Chain A
């Protein structure tokens, strides 16, 4: 199940990134070659940027790529080191869950107030709906990564520090 999710994140990131590149380039090319341009390009690129960041953030969490200062933790004896890793993992998951919760608050505020985007004038929550889901996914990946580290499965991605 999670294996498929791994691929899912990669496919989503690649698709969004390609679409952003195509849109950004098409806007430049069309504006330069013809006298037209697509006025809402900026808004769509930012929406893509937001999704790219949360889905990429989840993939990076799974790979253990979110950077930490490991210098001090590495000085600790093995048992204390295990406790510190568990604690830092739990705190990270806590923050990500809080971020998901507050972003959920944002989405529901936007839904209730009916606020629209400044370019295409579609409901603003269409864009932000990815945020709570994205942070939950990052939290899930962070938890998964921490648990596999603590079980001593050995890191799957590039270790840092």
Chain B
């Protein structure tokens, strides 16, 4: 590896370590330490980098949304919510898959973090889709993709950080991202009937498949009403969380804490399903799941540090940017760089590394920085479910017990719909502007 740069050697070593089954978090750490040793710079910063990598305030919402998700599952709230959407939209072609996408979009308006959304809605969607005849890896892949939209649909921690780095309005970014987020969900829905054709009994024994399904003998209108009434406390969750954020009661991170307290309240005072034993199990399960994600984030911060210091993205992307004078080629090149970076790094690290290089180009070509922020967020969302480092995949594998590669392979159709969605936003920038214009 003698004539390779330290950063390139790190990439190679990382690949080798993954192949020999070293856990992803530790492979990131080992290859980064090796690169620091080769560079002769950075080893004495490792302690600091680990400490600041773990204690990232922007990620504090992750353990709380994971805990809230587990508690809502334990207390039966998410169950009832999913059952309501099952009654409402489960009869459409794609069955439980449609329910999964709709719930993911709904949950995206609650959560600002992709992996947290996987944890919150994943278990029940996967179970429901499996009952509906979908293979479990496919169901997990759908959840990973749908939950990735949590960083596109507001609130989004990623958009907040983009707004800060790019120095543009976060409020406008939030509004601009709503339609593209819904568009991405719509693409998934449109694809489902075709994908579902050979993957599931398209029109399965339908509503009865997912036991327990109450009110099965009622009329459809009554079914809708009764399941809505039943799911009321769960359906109220985004209202409580979004309402609290938009009315200025709490910040998006605090909203995650409120979601936990809300779930404990409903589980103990309303449904009376949450016992101290179940609460204890939820706390320890959530602590482990969150730690698995955070270990990756922690050691990815060492890895990202080497990428920054060795100017890896800079070296490669500046070379690529000089390829053409045509703006669309440059945008394509940027998308490819971001998608490749998204395979290896977390969204926040990618933004810090790439934006200093990309933003001057955005200004130079006079692109709308709000549109570019939304475009960026969609590519980063795709990165959440592309291997080898796809945090949504990790969480999904963690909660389903399926292997990472099986889920990733099953996600290929959604990778295609996401790429189409990304292209649509690239070719049709106005989709980020309609709501902003309408609100003025």
Contacts and interface: CB of A to CB of B under 8 A. Distances in A.
Are A and B part of the same complex? yes
A80 B48 CA distance: 38
Interface string B231-272: 000000000000000000110001001101100000000000
A91 B47 contact: no
Interface residues of B, number: 59
Interface string B271-314: 00000000010011011111110111011000000000000000
A133 interface: no
Contacts of B35: none
B403 A102 contact: no
A140 interface: no
B20 A72 contact: yes
A28 interface: yes
Contacts of A39: none
Given A13-B283, A160-B403, A67 B30 contact: no
B33 A50 contact: no
B106 interface: no
Nearest to B402: A160
Given A46-B55, A50-B51, A71-B403, A18 B283 contact: yes
Interface SS of chain A: helix, strand, loop or mixed?
A: helix
B380 interface: no
Contact of B401 (A59, A72, A159): A159
B25 A66 contact: yes
Contacts of B33: 95, 98
A19 to B, nearest CB: 11
A123 interface: no
23 contacts: A10-B280, A10-B284, A20-B64, A21-B261, A24-B257, A53-B54, A56-B290, A56-B292, A60-B288, A60-B291, A63-B288, A65-B288, A67-B394, A67-B397, A68-B22, A70-B21, A99-B29, A102-B47, A102-B50, A103-B50, A131-B47, A159-B401, A161-B405
Interface of A: 10, 13-14, 16-18, 20-21, 24-25, 27-28, 32, 42, 45-47, 49-50, 52-57, 59-60, 63, 65-73, 84-85, 87-88, 91-92, 94-96, 98-99, 102-107, 109, 128, 131, 158-161
